[in-house]
Chain A
Amino acid sequence: MNLPTPLNKDWVATGKATYDLKCLACHKLSDEKLVGPGWAGVTKRREPVWIMNMITNVDMMLEKDPEAQKMLEECLVRMPNQNITQEDSRKLIEFMRSNDGEK
């Protein structure tokens, strides 16, 4: 997956709106853990495809992916399927990149 710069401003805005509605209850934008890990740095430590899988196919990830499983052992709450389309997950990544300081 290629992630061009500069960021798509519209996507960042849509991603932020989705975050407010469906993710904010569990994820902070800092590195502080709430229910799930804080999102600061997430685009640096994870591949974009991995993040998209986590968002759109979380049950498979928690069953198969060792990194996701390691997080579940710490958090002990399953990251929920929030009914996000592929398209919206891409926009969420744009918002995460902007949160990580990309321009």
Chain B
Amino acid sequence: MSTTNGEHDGRWAFVNGNNTPRIARISLSTFRTEEIIEIPNSSGNHSSPFLTENSEYAVAGTRFSYPMDDDDSNPDVGIDSYKKNFKGTVSFIGIDKETGRMGVSFQVMLPGVNFDLSRGGRGPSKDWFFFSCYNTEQANTLLEVNASQKDKDFIMALNWKKCEEYAKAGKGKKSKVRYAHNVYDEKTHTATSTIETETIVLDPKELKDIVYFMPCPKSPHGCDVDPTGEYICGSGKLAAVIPVFSFAKIQKAIADKSFEGEFDGIPVLKYDAVLHGEVKKPGLGPLHTEFDGKGFAYTSFFVSSEIVKWNIEKLEVVDRVPTYYSIGHLSVPGGPTRKPHGKYVIAYNKITKDRYLPTGPELTQSAQLYDISGDKMKLLLDFPTTGEPHYAEAIPASLIQSKSVKIFKIEDNHHPYVSKGEKEAKVFREGNKVHVNMTSIRSHFMPDNIEGVKLGDEVYFHVTNLEQDWDVPHGFAIKGANNAELLIMPGETCTLKWVPDRVGVVAFYCTDFCSALHQEMQGYIRVSPRGSNNPLTFSTGNKAEPTGATK
């Protein structure tokens, strides 16, 4: 979620797509996706979309390294040539301060490893970004075993401010790529899609002072920065300790060149030189850490199914509570910011087993809410969730409430096929395309009887919801539209394309319960054979006086 000065500002939420590497930006005033940007040079967008302190950038790391398939390289290589040919990238997606518009500002080319999670610095560390890296063994098969060989993998520390400077100074290489950039326009209620063809790639083998590796025990998942920005907590899935790194020590180690060597041309800092300390015997399988702003950290433990509270300065465990079961991520409202609200923590669990009534081989997932305002954590609520609950952030409703859009003003609707009132509803033909500019209101469509469509036509239903009251959507569904129907918000226009495949009269109807007469909210469209002379007509209510209909 977007932040200003390291605090949630309630403007946007960002979501990553893993399999089709991309980032979406969602407006928190409409809860609509305003923009989606595909990430080039990426295979599995993980460690994303975490943000810098003032939402200058969202990051996108490739989970899987692979032979980059941009047009300057030849990706047709043996899978066992991982060490030689496979590369990783992390990308910085610039975010416009005012509009939120995104663009791929620069990418950093990295050795082939897996990138898991990341976190932006804050306060003293605000110019830096931290990424957990695993499979530093560079295995290309049976990673379960082969990527669990080394005692330590890495947390990568990256100076994004320097990267930005180098990118602006032309120190990057231009890479030919192809990626889509889709933007939604709230005024026209429509989206545009553009294909972009270039990115700037920085190479840390040449630009020596932008990336450093820090050894971190073992296969780290979380790498979480505390509210002060001084401490970075690694959570090694297979580690018996929680290592806590100190940002001040990292800076000193870099200045002193306290390197234990290089990994693929990138300096590796000495573990002891950057370590604040380790939490000993905290539990089994640490995954993710959140903070309460009072000097305590809360780490989830997958294998031992618990949340462990510990003191960041003293590195001492002070409390633990069980979770039901196998907790993955956890969330303190405002936890990953400078000012956590610090009253609650939510446990998001991966495995349910005996919590609920049986529903076949799969059970719904579970979550728990704990009160963390006192010394001891207290279970408040144990509740089911749908889907596997993953990383989440929570913010106070007051940050969103006052900006929440309740309706789209019909006066401001500039959709090219809007009907501003029933008088503007009409049906017209352009070759084999039939446009239906239709309105809906509790509880009828205008028009609701349409004739003169022929087999071979493509019909475009442009439905305008004339309601101007909060929470009164109308729906639109028609048989033969096999993978979509519409849900139209008050004052909005949406389009559904329908290509009839047979002759006959087909019903359409409202799919969102809108009034006592919702079940009556329906209409018919007649499809005649190819070459039929049935004229295009439309109406609602044969006695209706102000229709402008032909009958």
Chain A residues within 8 Å of B, Cβ to Cβ: 20-22, 24-26, 28-30, 34-35, 76-78, 80-83
A34 to B443, CA, bound (A): 11
Using known A-B contacts A22-B410, A26-B441, A77-B442, determine if residue A83 contacts B469 with beta carbons closer than 8 Å.
yes
Across the interface, do B443 and A25 meet the contact criterion of CB distance under 8 Å? no
Chain A residue numbers with a CB within 8 Å of B469 are 80-83
Chain A residue numbers with a CB within 8 Å of B409 are 83
Across the interface, do A25 and B439 meet the contact criterion of CB distance under 8 Å? yes
A30 CB, nearest partner CB in chain B, Å:
7
Across the interface, do A78 and B442 meet the contact criterion of CB distance under 8 Å? yes
Across the interface, do A77 and B545 meet the contact criterion of CB distance under 8 Å? no
Chain B residues within 8 Å of A, Cβ to Cβ: 407, 409-411, 420-423, 439, 441-444, 446, 466-470, 472, 515-517, 541, 544-546
Known: A20-B423, A21-B421. 8 other contacts (CB 8 A): A22-B466, A24-B422, A25-B444, A26-B441, A35-B443, A76-B515, A78-B515, A82-B468
A21 to B411, CA, bound (A): 9
Across the interface, do B443 and A80 meet the contact criterion of CB distance under 8 Å? no
The total number of A-B Cβ pairs within 8 Å is 62
Across the interface, do B407 and A83 meet the contact criterion of CB distance under 8 Å? yes
Chain B residue numbers with a CB within 8 Å of A28 are 545-546
Chain B residue numbers with a CB within 8 Å of A78 are 442, 515
Using CB atoms, name the residue of chain B closest to A84: B468
Across the interface, do B442 and A35 meet the contact criterion of CB distance under 8 Å? yes
Across the interface, do A83 and B421 meet the contact criterion of CB distance under 8 Å? no
A25 to B468, CA, bound (A): 13
A82 to B409, CA, bound (A): 10
Using CB atoms, name the residue of chain B closest to A76: B516
Chain B residue numbers with a CB within 8 Å of A29 are 545-546
Using CB atoms, name the residue of chain A closest to B518: A77
26 contacts across the A-B interface (CB closer than 8 A): A20-B421, A21-B411, A21-B420, A22-B410, A22-B421, A22-B468, A24-B421, A25-B421, A25-B439, A25-B441, A25-B444, A26-B442, A30-B545, A34-B544, A35-B441, A76-B515, A77-B442, A77-B443, A77-B516, A78-B442, A80-B441, A80-B467, A80-B468, A80-B472, A81-B470, A82-B467
The 5 closest A-B pairs by CB, nearest first: A83-B468, A81-B469, A21-B421, A25-B441, A82-B468
Chain A residue numbers with a CB within 8 Å of B407 are 83
Using CB atoms, name the residue of chain B closest to A19: B421
Chain A residue numbers with a CB within 8 Å of B546 are 24, 28-29
A40 to B490, CA, bound (A): 28
Using CB atoms, name the residue of chain B closest to A81: B469
B466 CB, nearest partner CB in chain A, Å:
6
Across the interface, do A76 and B517 meet the contact criterion of CB distance under 8 Å? yes
Chain A residue numbers with a CB within 8 Å of B516 are 76-77
A20 to B422, CA, bound (A): 7
Using known A-B contacts A21-B420, A21-B421, A25-B439, determine if residue A35 contacts B545 with beta carbons closer than 8 Å.
no
Across the interface, do A77 and B517 meet the contact criterion of CB distance under 8 Å? yes
A56 CB, nearest partner CB in chain B, Å:
12
Indicate the member of A28, A30, A34, A80 with the most B CB atoms within 10 Å.
A80
Chain A residue numbers with a CB within 8 Å of B467 are 80, 82
Using CB atoms, name the residue of chain B closest to A38: B545
Chain B residue numbers with a CB within 8 Å of A82 are 467-469
B17 CB, nearest partner CB in chain A, Å:
36
Chain B residue numbers with a CB within 8 Å of A35 are 441-444
Across the interface, do A24 and B423 meet the contact criterion of CB distance under 8 Å? yes
A25 to B421, CA, bound (A): 7
Using known A-B contacts A25-B446, A25-B466, determine if residue A77 contacts B515 with beta carbons closer than 8 Å.
yes
Across the interface, do B545 and A80 meet the contact criterion of CB distance under 8 Å? no
Indicate the member of B411, B420, B446, B468 with the most A CB atoms within 10 Å.
B468
A34 to B542, CA, bound (A): 12
Using CB atoms, name the residue of chain B closest to A26: B441
A81 to B442, CA, bound (A): 12
Indicate the member of A25, A28, A81 with the most B CB atoms within 10 Å.
A25
A25 to B467, CA, bound (A): 10
Indicate the member of A28, A77, A81, A83 with the most B CB atoms within 10 Å.
A83
A35 to B420, CA, bound (A): 19
Using CB atoms, name the residue of chain B closest to A17: B421
A89 to B422, CA, bound (A): 20
Using CB atoms, name the residue of chain A closest to B545: A28
A35 CB, nearest partner CB in chain B, Å:
7
Using CB atoms, name the residue of chain A closest to B445: A25
A28 to B544, CA, bound (A): 9
A85 to B296, CA, bound (A): 51
Using CB atoms, name the residue of chain B closest to A18: B421
A81 to B516, CA, bound (A): 17
A81 to B406, CA, bound (A): 12
Chain A residue numbers with a CB within 8 Å of B443 are 35, 77
Chain A residue numbers with a CB within 8 Å of B441 are 25-26, 35, 80
Chain A residue numbers with a CB within 8 Å of B517 are 76-77
A30 to B544, CA, bound (A): 11
Chain A residue numbers with a CB within 8 Å of B420 are 21
Chain B residue numbers with a CB within 8 Å of A83 are 407, 409, 468-469
Chain B residue numbers with a CB within 8 Å of A22 are 410, 421, 466, 468
Chain B residue numbers with a CB within 8 Å of A21 are 410-411, 420-421, 466
